[in-house]
Amino acid sequence: MPRPPRADRSTRVTIADVAARAGVSLSTVSRALNGNPTVDPALAERVKAAADALDYTASPVARSLVLGRTQTVAVIVPDLGNPTFQAILRGLSHAAAADDYHVLVADSAESVEEERVLAGTTRRRTDGVILCAPRLPQDELDRLVGGLRPVVLINRTSGEVPSVGADYRTALSTELAHLHELGHRRIVFLAGAPGSVANTARLDAIAAFVAEHPDTEVAEIPCGVDFEAGAAAGTAVRASGATAAVAFNDLVAMGLLSAVQADGCRVPDDLSIVGFDDIPFARYTTPPLTTAAVPATELGAQAWARMRELLEGAEPGHPLTVLPELTIRGTTGRART
């Protein structure tokens, strides 16, 4: 892209204009407008009058340079199309706005390389960066965050870096227990990205559960993380003979639900399905989806709260881990016998 022409600033009103109009020095204007108490009340009034007569507001860029503070934070997400990340961004955005901070968003497109680059470049034009479910391997993540501080991590941890996240492991155990209670003994798990932190946590939960419940079999089916993947897994799920399916997330669950129903399979009579996340649409499927509710919006707000503490120089709070709540709706029922 060709370099755009230099901006025309000739028409912009600066602090000098206000100073001239109020008949004071630049410093006095600066002090008056920033509420510095050492300025004569009457003068301050005159300055403010001049300022809004001229519709003046200090240049954020100039202030950023001198203050070393931009009033902006960066948020890096792996995919802006993912409902969970959208919810996190929304919660974060609202919370930051309430504290008069701005939010720079960047989508890493699930690319580890992009993630690394974006973290660096956005950090330089903001006061801190919030990494949302970064895909970086642990060692690289550990290395990266060092040069990025202040940093807040969502759904990942790294040393003493403040973080917020959901306890996937326990939540998945709860889902399995729910299925077990309904009599399901042959279950399939539609796996997400192999090797990813989120998938590994779920696999751990499954291994632990199976160890404690020898009567139950949980088979893993490589799948994916979106609708299409879930729908595509329909055939394999039915062929498995399982009476229940645990999807990596709600997207997969919905894709599966859609596919098996189109195939004449009744849910939950023939097959029970559980999702994960409780995205906004989960309650509106037919039947409504049983899932583990991750308070994504709240996580976003909490992530901002951590960042804010860091920015204020306060002690970073302990890592926050929320436990997704099992939300039983219509896609789970007693196992067919």
Partner DNA sequence: CTGTTAGCGCGTTCAA
Partner DNA sequence: TTGAACGCGCTAACAG
Residues that bind a second copy (CB under 8 A): 1-2, 4-9, 57, 59-62, 64-65, 67-70, 72, 80-81, 86-87, 89-90, 93-94, 97, 99-100, 102-107, 109, 122, 124-125, 127, 227, 231, 254-255, 257-258, 261, 280-281, 283-286, 288, 308, 311-313
User: Which of 20/232 has CB closer to DNA?
Assistant: 20
Taking the least distance from each CB to a second copy, the nearer of 239 and 281 is 281
What is the token pair recorded at 198?
């989120």
Judged by beta carbon, residue 54 or residue 109, the one nearer a second copy is 109
| Alpha helix stretches (DSSP H) within 125-167 | 138-146
Interacting span for DNA (CB under 7 A) from 20-28, 73-81, 107-115, 215-223: 20-28
Nearest approach in angstroms of CB 126 to a second copy is 9
Taking alpha carbons only, the member of 84, 275, 247 closest to residue 166 is 84
280 binds, among DNA, a second copy, none (CB under 5 to 8 A by kind): a second copy
* Window of 38-46, 166-174, 217-225, 296-304 that interacts with DNA by CB under 7 A: 38-46
Cβ–Cβ < 8 Å for 99, 73: no
Interaction partner, residue 53 (a second copy, DNA, none; CB < 5-8 Å by kind): none
The correct pick among 2, 4, 5, 66 for binding DNA (CB under 7 A) is 66
Are 208 and 170 spatial neighbours (Cβ–Cβ below 8 Å)? no
> What is the SS3 assignment for 75?
strand
Question: Could you tell me if 327 and 175 are in contact, meaning their C-beta atoms sit under 8 angstroms apart?
Answer: no
| Closest to 261 (Cα-Cα) out of 283, 230, 290 | 230
| 38 touches DNA (CB under 7 A) | yes
Q: Residue 34 or 121: which CB sits closer to DNA? A: 34
Residue 59 in contact with DNA, rule: CB under 7 A: yes
Helices (H) and strands (E) in the chain, counts: 13, 12
Longest CA–CA separation in the chain, Å: 89
- With CB under 5 to 8 Å by kind, the binding choice for 40 among DNA, a second copy, none is DNA
Closest distance between DNA and the C-beta of residue 321, in Å? 37
Is residue 313 left, alpha or beta, with left meaning phi > 0 and alpha meaning psi from -120 to 50? Answer: left
Tokens 């291994």 map to which residue?
207
The residues in 67-86 that bind DNA, with binding defined as CB under 7 A, are 67-68
- In 3D space, the residue among 289, 316, 285 whose CA is nearest the CA of residue 303 turns out to be 316
- With CB under 5 to 8 Å by kind, the binding choice for 258 among a second copy, DNA, none is a second copy
Instruction: State the amino acid at position 159 in one-letter form.
Output: G
Separation CA 153–CA 320 (nearest Å): 10
Chain residues in the site for DNA (CB under 7 A):
6, 9, 12, 14-16, 23-31, 33-34, 38-40, 43-44, 56, 58-59, 62-63, 65-68
